Chains A and B, each alone.
Chain A
């Protein structure tokens, strides 16, 4: 497990309570999990993602991630329609471990409400919450 200081926490994304990150790219918003989350999970062996075209509310479960000994759920950091999913994760779930903010992205969403994005945490606020957990 990494120390807090070792965690990668880029500032071009916003963070949710359940450790998802959100990066706005115009109409398309990308979602993934943070370096803290992937580190806690350990080696990821399988990722279950939703169908394209389905709509979820903020806070709804949209998929699951499995390590060898555990399963965790993903929750929508913002509500919206699924525009795309990272199909590369089917053959290479380890991308989430290796590149959680890059090639290990999970879904692309069309945000239903832009205000929800503003409500998410900045990097610094997220870092503080992580310190609180430890």
Chain B
């Protein structure tokens, strides 16, 4: 095959911070002392801190080398299912760094923070428009916190009706944060199975929905990349028993401008700005998980809320039914700036195009790889598709081995072993920012690996060969944890 991007690079070794440095080295320009010394009482002070002393050169080289052991979206394709690893525009980073934003204290008087308040107010409107919902809170700091907020909103809603319900319906394809968020709110998850088509059927929900069930948590498209076609009817069943429909909006990238969640029966929806709205993942965060609601849930939204008073914006806590606060201040403002910049850059037509192309890319991969890998559900997919290792198992090769071998070819592996309903799942989400060229390279690499699985499975079992480290001993790491140096 043509040369793949996966060839060995210049990877230098680098010790831990406290294995280098020398006492007395400086990496910091200490500000001028223009006041007298005023030592605290000895009974209050500590001995010197056991931090290494490093020069600026030490620190720069350390982290430069460390960064070179990482693979990011800027390095290559990152087809992680349900993560939406799309390109992170650099112009958005610049906006977040503007001194007026980066250097702003959150408790400034309103008159002195109009720019930030206006941005938040407008972002709420933009997200409401995209999702077809009525009101938005930008406060949750990540998707999971958005889910918790959603659960608290449901709880508050039922409480306002003098009811306390104890259960919530959760599909077998749900992300792990769904049941754990529900549990934090005291709800017992009622698991339901998806049907042979990979989606929920109305009868399954009708069977379990009762007046002790607070509602349902549903993701559409779901984690199999399939649109929950029966959602509207399911919503009717849930609503008929006084329950609410919580939409997990992690997969919003498939449907911008194509489906409006507010029109299909969803009462509460969370979004992931670090997925659909292009803000960077940062090696694990920070993200942002805004929550969008229909009118009947607006009174319960977290405070403070940005309110428009004639020509200015203020923060108001005057919402007596609010569930309270989830975040010290207003949420991850720095992330909001990036998402806002993205939406203002794309405009309505490009957002819709992005969803269309994300779905096109995933379907293209699905068509080109079915037969090479076992396709879990041979149906049209949306922005992601799910395969399994069924065809490779006779060669004693598993999903894990294929994932590790992809690294040698210069690609980040897709999501593996999720969703749980597919054994050995391989969930591929290319996103719309991957070109046909890059997709074709990825497809070729997968085919080459499938071939190796047959002809030379050792290559997979011993993969990766070209990374800085080989497979890690995770058992030892868990049996005898070494969590600090």
Which chain A residues have a beta carbon within 8 Å of chain B's beta carbons?
43, 45-46, 66, 68-69, 93-94
Give the complex CA separation of A45 and B481 in angstroms. Answer: 10
B195: A residues at CB distance < 8 A: none
Give the complex CA separation of A93 and B417 in angstroms. Answer: 25
Mostly, the A contact residues are loop
**A88 → chain B, closest Cβ, in Å?**
13
Give the complex CA separation of A45 and B476 in angstroms. Answer: 8
For B, the interface residue count at a CB cutoff of 8 angstroms equals 5
A45: B residues at CB distance < 8 A: 475, 478-479
User: B474 within 8 Å of A by Cβ?
Assistant: yes
A-contacting residues, B471-485, CB 8 Å: 474-475, 478-479
Give the complex CA separation of A68 and B479 in angstroms. Answer: 9
Q: CB-CB contacts of B454-483 with A at 8 A, as 1s and 0s?
A: 000000000000000000001100110000
Give the complex CA separation of A83 and B108 in angstroms. Answer: 63
Which residue of A43, A46, A66, A93 has the most chain B CB atoms within 10 A of its CB atom?
A43
Q: List 13 A-B contacts (CB under 8 A).
A: A43-B475, A45-B475, A45-B478, A45-B479, A46-B478, A46-B479, A66-B478, A68-B474, A68-B475, A68-B478, A69-B417, A93-B479, A94-B479
**B429 → chain A, closest Cβ, in Å?**
22
Give the complex CA separation of A45 and B475 in angstroms. Answer: 6
A94: B residues at CB distance < 8 A: 479
Give the complex CA separation of A69 and B478 in angstroms. Answer: 10
B479: A residues at CB distance < 8 A: 45-46, 93-94
- Supplied contacts A68-B474, A68-B475, A93-B479, 6 more A-B pairs, CB within 8 Å: A43-B475, A45-B475, A46-B478, A66-B478, A68-B478, A69-B417
Give the complex CA separation of A43 and B476 in angstroms. Answer: 9
Give the complex CA separation of A69 and B474 in angstroms. Answer: 9
B481: nearest chain-A partner, CB-CB: A45
Give the complex CA separation of A123 and B474 in angstroms. Answer: 34
**B305 → chain A, closest Cβ, in Å?**
40
A43: B residues at CB distance < 8 A: 475
Give the complex CA separation of A66 and B481 in angstroms. Answer: 14
B478: A residues at CB distance < 8 A: 45-46, 66, 68
A66: B residues at CB distance < 8 A: 478
**B176 → chain A, closest Cβ, in Å?**
12
Q: CB-CB contacts of B403-423 with A at 8 A, as 1s and 0s?
A: 000000000000001000000
**A51 → chain B, closest Cβ, in Å?**
23
Give the complex CA separation of A43 and B478 in angstroms. Answer: 10
Give the complex CA separation of A94 and B475 in angstroms. Answer: 10
A69: B residues at CB distance < 8 A: 417
Closest 5 CB pairs of A and B: A45-B478, A43-B475, A68-B474, A45-B479, A68-B478
B474: A residues at CB distance < 8 A: 68
A46: B residues at CB distance < 8 A: 478-479
Give the complex CA separation of A120 and B310 in angstroms. Answer: 77
B475: A residues at CB distance < 8 A: 43, 45, 68
Give the complex CA separation of A102 and B475 in angstroms. Answer: 22
A68: nearest chain-B partner, CB-CB: B474
**B347 → chain A, closest Cβ, in Å?**
43
Give the complex CA separation of A114 and B15 in angstroms. Answer: 61
**B7 → chain A, closest Cβ, in Å?**
31
A93: B residues at CB distance < 8 A: 479
Give the complex CA separation of A46 and B474 in angstroms. Answer: 13
Give the complex CA separation of A43 and B472 in angstroms. Answer: 14
Give the complex CA separation of A43 and B474 in angstroms. Answer: 9
A93: nearest chain-B partner, CB-CB: B479
**A26 → chain B, closest Cβ, in Å?**
34
Which residue of A45, A46, A94 has the most chain B CB atoms within 10 A of its CB atom?
A45
B417: A residues at CB distance < 8 A: 69
Give the complex CA separation of A68 and B478 in angstroms. Answer: 7
Give the complex CA separation of A68 and B400 in angstroms. Answer: 14
B417: nearest chain-A partner, CB-CB: A69
**A76 → chain B, closest Cβ, in Å?**
23
